Structure 1
Amino acid sequence: MKFVLAPDSFKESMTAKNAALAMEKGIKKVFPDAECVIVPMADGGEGTVESLVSMMDGELIRTEVLGPLGEKVIADYGLVDAGSTAVIEMASASGLELIKPEDRNPLRTTTYGTGQLIKHALDKGVSRILIGIGGSATNDGGAGMLQALGVSFKDRSGEELAFGGGALDQLHSIDVSGIDERLKKVKIDVACDVTNPLVGENGASAIFGPQKGATPEVVVFLDQNLAHFAEMIKQQLNQDIADMEGAGAAGGLGGGLMAFLDARLEKGIELVIEYTGLEERMKGADFVFTGEGSIDGQTLFGKTPYGVASIANQSSIPVIAFAGRIGEGVEALYDNGFTAIVGILNGVTSLEEALDAGEANLAFAAENICRVLKINVDKS
């Protein structure tokens, strides 16, 4: 029998790889000769670098960059495909979790460190870059990232703009002559699961600004600044990103990536499926096991288990999904490629205990499912 094990991480409990290994442990207790194909997955957010580096036998690179408030931080990215592809999580350099809640200020936070990660990857000679842009602390339209890559944004007096979304209203001229020439030869894919435009009531500032520390007054100011940023780009570069789908992702970083780096924005899980070759690895599989910490009705909107199930469904392969928490709306998943959804908790415990026992609970749940499957195998 062939099992494809393609879970996401179970947040704060186990990585995607550890989850897959736990599944394998349970399977082997019932089917010791089974072939288990381990494909750690992610949806472009936290854990994407770790999953792809693990899955594709890559290398984790650690370097010092500027954090979202201009302080020095240590950030990681991955090299896969024999070093030809870089996998970057912008949150590693410019993420919200790098700042204490009381210090969050999208008027000041910058994506400069994300640009430094891209530049570091270029120094390694990559020809392709995958960037996950979830979890940002920023609202600067990607200006900081672009400054790190050689783009100059100047005010009326010819001075370079300060970091942060609060300075964008001062933008007068854009000079791309100094942009890193190597970017012309690099394909950039952006894992992006939001479709928000750059500006307006559904834009970057209005929807995501408050969680980054923006008051209602600051939200209005930031939105006006991004609108000015977009207008300058339109006038000087003939690129109209204000209402572009996905441009508002990561405080406008999505728009900056598209306008200046000709990046392709795609759903995170679709890019990870492409990069890992999941469809090819599923050929000949009898069952697919997937899962993540929580599964509910929102899983249908681009979450890892749904992406995995969609691929399996193309070949009519049964899909078993495991979760620490099963929430409302899961019934809809049964009409969208899921054969069964299994909770892994063995009893009523504290959250801390449940997280600590995650791997053991997942292995036991996988074992129990396999014991049910074995009934039909023995009959045949």
Structure 2
Amino acid sequence: MIVVFAPDSFKGTIGAADAAAALAEGWHSVRRQDEAVLRPMADGGEGTLDAFAAAVPGARRVPVRVRGPADLEVDAAWLRLPPTARAPAGTAVVELGATSGIELLENLRPMGAHTAGLGQAIAAALAAGVSRVVVGLGSSASTDGGTGMLRALGARFLDARGADVPAGGQGLGAIAAADLSGLAAVPPAGVIGLVDVVNPLLGARGAAAVFGPQKGADPEQIAQLDGGLAQLARLLPADPGTPGAGAAGGAGFGLLAWGGSLASGAATVAELIGLPGAMRAASVIVTGEGAFDGQSASGKVPAHVAAAASGARVALAAGRIQSGADTSAFAAVISLTALAGTPASAMADPARWLREAGRHLARDLG
């Protein structure tokens, strides 16, 4: 039978391509006769550039040095995709995680981290003359509503005295005016933000309340950040209630204000890499991610794979599975932490435990 392996990266431990290969190796150790089809996935976060690079012949990485979320220089890259009828000068793929991501911080900066690096990478792509920009919005270090990105593209955010407000979420509440007169034009074929969540910008399900704690924000800071984002929403031409506006600390909202649109990262990447066709021919599909929790149903890779599978049984291999998380969409589930005994052991050698997960799944579903 045909088995498709379509995991996301296991954040900070192993990339999607290596995770897919390890799962397939474990499966083949039990069922060598099965045909393995590897389709490593991404949802707009870590690994998005890798997924596009693997799927598109002629894709080329372009190095760029940017100002990271801790104000230190970061060596990153954006990906240039070849020309198409829709984008005759090519498409740039930029990954927020590589330019303004939380993995770039030694210490969390809930109020001071920003998205300037993302904006600088986009600006570099625009200067190279691309027709379209695709932005992976995931793994964010900040809650700045995309203001760092917009500043790098020519916008200004001013306080009541006409001075520039501080970078990051700490300056949002002081914004009295947004000067967009110098903002770079959207490229001819548009800007698309790839999101893995449907959260709005504000409120109990918004960027600060839901994702602020992951970035080190305490309750008082969360309230301050949400208030600052509300102030920003009053000044920028975008709807803060748009699903995905709260993605990446509100960078989704910032992209909307620039004139971009938002799309499901998992669905966009899946279509590009030919996953729907591969799944139609499969008997079993194995997907996965580092942590399967209550947010995983809102646009993450495993949820998309399970929803898009047509008749095939879908299995989940995750680094850890949160107690109470809904796994009813899967024919089998397995946790690397349970196999390894502890989270530290699972994270220390993820390839080993992914191979073991593949073996278990082959015995259960073969």
Shift of 1:221: 4.0
What SS does the aligned partner of 2:118 have?
helix
How far apart are residue 114 of structure 1 and its match?
Answer: 1.0
Alignment of 1:333-348 (within 5 A): 333-334=327-328, 336=329, 338-343=330-335
State the partner residue of 2:71. 70
Would you say 1:4 and 2:9 are equivalent positions?
A: no
Question: Counterparts of 2:261 and 2:215 in 1: how far apart (Å)?
Answer: 25
* Local SS of the residue matching 1:354: helix
Evaluate the alpha carbon distance shift between residue 173 and residue 366 of structure 1 in structure 2; reply closer, same or farther with a 3 A threshold.
Answer: closer
Q: Confirm or deny: 8 A CA contact 2:196 2:266 kept in the other structure.
A: no
**Aligned runs of 1:108-123 on 2, under 5 Å?**
108-123=112-127
Compute the displacement of 1:346 (Å). Answer: 8.8
CA RMSD after TM alignment:
3.3
Bigger mean CA deviation after superposition, 60-69 or 347-356: 347-356
Conserved? CA contact 1:13–1:355, under 8 Å: yes
Q: Given the alignment of the two structures, is residue 360 of structure 1 paired with residue 333 of structure 2, yes or no?
A: no
Change (3 A) 1:80 1:27: farther
Give the 3 Å change call, closer, same or farther, for CA 177–345 of structure 1 in structure 2: closer
Deviations 1:39-92 (A, max 9, x none): 101232223333332344544443211122433222333344569333333232
Which of 231, 239, 245 is matched with 1:247 structurally? 245
Contact 1:191 1:271 in 2 (8 A): no
Q: Pairwise mapping of residues 139-288 of structure 1 onto structure 2 (< 5 A)? A: 139-155=143-159, 157-198=161-202, 200-214=203-217, 216-233=219-236, 239-264=237-262, 266-288=263-285
Q: Deviations over 1:260-307 (max 9, x none)?
A: 22322x343223223323112323223222223444665434332221
Equivalent-residue separation in structure 2 for 1:354 and 1:105 (angstroms): 28
SS in 2 for 1:185: coil
- TM-score, structure 2 normalization: 0.82
Please, which runs of 5 or more residues in structure 2 have no aligned partner?
Answer: 84-88
1:316 is displaced (CA, Å) by 0.6
Query: Quick one: which amino acid aligns to residue 124 of structure 2?
Result: H
Distance 1:293 1:225 in 2: 31
TM-score, length of structure 1 as denominator length: 0.79
Offset of 1:207 from its aligned partner?
4.2
Count of residues in correspondence between the two structures: 360
Please, which of 87, 90, 99 is the counterpart of residue 93 of structure 2?
A: 87
Identity score, percent: 38
In 1, the alpha carbon distance for the partners of 2:284 and 2:182 equals 52
Q: 2:136 aligns with which of 111, 132, 135?
A: 132
**Which is higher, the Rg of structure 1 or of structure 2?**
1
Q: Classify 1:162/1:316 alpha carbon distance in 2 versus 1 (closer, same or farther; 3 Å).
A: same
CA contact under 8 A between 1:286 and 1:317: conserved in structure 2? yes
- Tell me what 2:86 maps to: none
Q: C-alpha distance in 2, partners of 1:161/1:297?
A: 35
Structure in which a larger fraction of residues adopt helix: 1
**Which amino acid is the alignment partner of residue 87 of structure 1?**
V
Partner of 1:86, secondary structure, is strand
Q: Would the alpha carbon gap of residues 215 and 30 (structure 1) be closer, same or farther in structure 2, given more than 3 Å must change?
A: closer
The unaligned stretches of length 5 or more in structure 1 are: 234-238, 375-380
